Amino acid sequence: MKQKELVRKLLDAGFIFYDHGSNHDRYKRGNVIEVIPRHKEISENLAKAILKRNGIK
């Protein structure tokens, strides 16, 4: 999955950009912080796990 596509799904689900790390970006929704690798492609397994963990389809 493209990183931009995953970020768009997080933003649509109510996450907001929180912070830049050296290799990752952090997005926040309430008390939940999700760490997203800053790569053009993110493995399907990782993307599915991130979406599932946050109840996003």
Q: Give residue 4's pLDDT.
A: 96
Q: Give residue 16's pLDDT.
A: 97
Q: Give residue 57's pLDDT.
A: 84
Number of folded domains in the chain?
A: 1
Task: Please give the average pLDDT of every successive group of 10 residues along the chain, which has 57 residues.
Answer: 96 96 95 95 96 93
Q: Give residue 32's pLDDT.
A: 95
Domain holding 7, by residue range, is: 3-53
CATH number where 18 lies:
3.30.920.30
CA-wise closest residue to 38 among 22, 14, 53, 51:
22
- Tokens matching residue 37: 């690798």
Within 1-57, residue ranges assigned H as helices are 3-12, 44-53
**What pTM, to 2 d.p., does this model score?**
0.89
